[in-house]
Amino acid sequence: MSELNQLLLNFDQKQNFNYNDFYVSKSNFFAFKLIENWPKWEKRVINIYGEKNCGKSHLAEIFKSKYKAIIFDEKKLNQDFFLNLKLYENLILDDFENNTDEKLLYSLFNFVDHENKYLIINSRTPLINIKFKLKDLNSRVKNCLLAEIKIPDDELIFALLLKNFSDKQIKVNKKLIDYIVKRIDRSYRKISEFIYKIDELSLKKKKPINISSLKEILEVEIE
C-alpha cells in the first residue's frame, strides 16, 4: 500500500474537497491527470463520468481552486446565465443528468467555442450514450474528451475505508480492513453505505469493530 497522503472522499455530509484528500489510483488516474495538466488538453470540452460518490465533484472543486473556475448545475443554465460565464475561462457543469433544454446545452457548447473557454461536464453516464433529439448536439458531444472514473480498485477501497474510519474515530484493525476489501461490493455507493452502518454500529456498541460485526454488515460467512 502506498502512502495514504492523498485520499479521495469523505462520505460525511460535509465533504472535504481539499487537494490533499484526493487519493489517486488506477480507477481515477486519467481524470485526475487531466485536471492537473490544464490547459494542455486535446479538446476544450471534457466529460468526466462515473457513478455517484466516485469523486467527480471533488475533482471539480480541486479544478476550481487551482484555476478559478465556476461550478454550476443544470438548474442555473439559461440565456441570462451566459453573461455570468463570460467572466470565467473555465466552466464546470456538475452532476449533469440531462434535465435541461437541449438547445441551452447546445448553446453552451457554442459559447465555449466562440469565447475560447474550457468546459468540464460531470455526469454519471458518458454523454455519447445519451440520445439527444438535436442532431447537432449529438455531433458536439461526440467531440468531447471522455474521462471515466472506474469502479474502485482494492487500493482505493482500502484508502477510503482507512480514511473514513480514522475521521470517525472508529477502531478497526488493518487486517479487518483487508477482510472488508476482499468482500465489499465494488461500488462507491455501497462503500458509503457500509461506512455509515459501521459508524452506527460503533456508536451503539461503543467498542472496537470485530469480525462478527463485519459479518453482520457484509452478510457473508466468516471464514
Give buried/exposed letters for 189-199 (b at 16+ CB in 10 A, else e).
Answer: eebbbbbeebb
Cell numbers placing 2: 502506498
CA distance 142 to 123: 15
Share of the chain above pLDDT 90, in %: 64
Give pLDDT tens digits for 70-87: 999 999 999 999 999 999
Q: Which residue ranges in the chain fall short of pLDDT 70?
A: 1-18, 220-223
Instruction: Quote the pLDDT of residue 130.
Output: 96
Instruction: Quote the pLDDT of residue 174.
Output: 87
Cell numbers placing 217: 454488515
| Amino acid found at 14 | K
Centroid of chain to Cα 13: 15
Give pLDDT tens digits for 3-37: 333 433 343 444 556 677 788 999 999 999 999 99
* pTM confidence score: 0.84
The C-alpha cell 467555442 sits at 113
